[in-house]
Chain A
Amino acid sequence: MPEMLSLSNDPILFICLMLAKILVVFIVVVLIVAYATYAERKIIGRMQTRLGPTMTGPLGLLQPIADGLKLFFKEDIIPAQASKLAFILAPMMILVPAFITIAVIPFGGDIVVGGYTMPLQISDLNIGILYILAMAGLGVYGIVLAGWASNNKYSLLGGVRSAAQVISYELAAGLSIIAVFMLSGTLSLRGIVAAQSASVLDWYIFSQPLAFCLFVITSLAEINRTPFDLPEAETELVSGFCTEYSSMKYALFFMAEYANMIVVSAITATLFLGGPAGPFAGPINLLLKIFFFMFLFIWIRATFPRVRYDQLMFMGWKVFLPLALLNIVITGAVVVFL
C-alpha cells in the first residue's frame, strides 16, 4: 500500500489535490442545494395533486436558476433602524458552518494518485463528530443575530424561538450519537465508516435503531424543518427571523436551510448507514443515501402539521433527552458485559 499523501512528502500535489477535492465537493453540494429546491417543489407538488414547476425549461429544470437570478436582481433593502453589521453578517454565519461541516464527511475509500494514497475526504479529523457538533452550535448564532438585528418584533420572536429550539435539540442529537462511537471506539468519521464496512449487517442502523430514530428527529429540529419549523412559521410570524431580508441575503438563508439538510443527511448516512459502503462506487452510494434522506425530509414536510413551541420544548427535554441517555446506558451495558 503506497504511503498516505501529506504535506511532508509531496506538498504541491497535496495542495493541488486538496483544492480539487474542496472544489468538487463544494460544487456538488451547491448543485444539490439548488436542485433540492426544485425537488422539493416538484415532490410536494405531486403529493398535493399538482404539478410543481413545469414551465421554466424542460420539466421546469431551469427553475432554480430562474429563482437564483430573480433573487440576485432584487433590491437589497436594509431597514433603517437595523444594526447594519449584524444584519449583513447573520446569513453568512448560518451558511458557512453548514458548508464547512462537509469537510469531514468521507465520500469514498482510499484512492491511489501519483504514487500516494489519498482518502476521499477533505479532512480526516480524529475528532470528527465533535467538530460536527461544534459547527452545528455555531449555526445558532446566525439565527439569533438575524432575529435581533432586524429591529422587528416578529423577527425577534422568531430568532429567540429558534435559538431555544436548536440548543435543546442539539443536546439530544449529540447524546444520541454517543452510542455510535461507543461501538466504534473512535470519533473519526473515517474510523466509523471503516467499522461498518465489513457487511451490510454491520451498519449501525441495525445495532442502534433507537439512536437512528432519535438522531433523524432531533436533526429535523436543529435544521428548522417541519414539523419543527416554528422560527419560520409563515402562518404565524409572517416569516420569522428572515422577515426583513431580501435579495441575496434571503437566498443565503434558504441555501443554508438546504445545505443543513444535506449535511444532516450526509452525517446520518455516514454514522448509521455505512457512508460510502454499498453496491456502487463510493461517492455514488453516499449520494444515493443523501437523496433518500432528503426525500424523507421533504415527504415529512408535506404531511405533518407544525408542533407548538411549548410542546417542542417538552419533547426535546422530557422525551428525547431521557431516551438518548437510556440508549447510552443500554449500549454501555452491552459493550461492557458482552
Chain B
Amino acid sequence: MSQAVVAKLKSAFAASVLEVKEHRGEVTVTVKKEDIVAICQFLKDEAGYNFLCDLCGVDYLGQQPRFMVVYNLYNITTKERLRVKVAVAEDDASVDTVSTVWATANWPERECWDLMGISFNNHPDLRRILMPADWVGHPLRKDYPLQGPDREPYQGRLS
C-alpha cells in the first residue's frame, strides 16, 4: 500500500522526490525542502495521512547537507506509516513550517529549533521550549558538548 502512495507522490511531484528507501518494512521518502508544505498537504488530502506522529531533526555532522528534518506520518484509516525526510544545509538552516497542514507540528518544530537550530519559516510562535529562553546554543547538535558549556567533561566511562 505504501508503494502505491509513493508512486502517486512521485507522479505528482516528480522533481521533488529525491530518494525512496525501504528498510525493515518502513518506507522513507527524501524530498526537496522547498516543496515540503505542498507535499505534506498532498499526503494529507490525497493519500489520507492525517496524523503527524513525529517531527524531528537529525544532525549528520560532517556530511553535506548537515541536517535532516524527519516527518513520521500515519494514516489512521489504513493504519500505515510513511516517513518523509528533507535535507537542510547548515548555512541555510530553515524549512517551511507544516503547522498549517497539521496543527500538531507546532511544538515539535519549536523543539527542533530549540535543540537543533533549524528554524521554521512562518511558524506562529518560534521560541525555545525545553531550554530556558535566554540559552545560547543548540544542545542536541553533535558539536555541542555533552556536559554543557563551562564544565569539565565527565571523567568516567560513558559507554
**A/B contact in complex, CB under 8 angstroms:** no
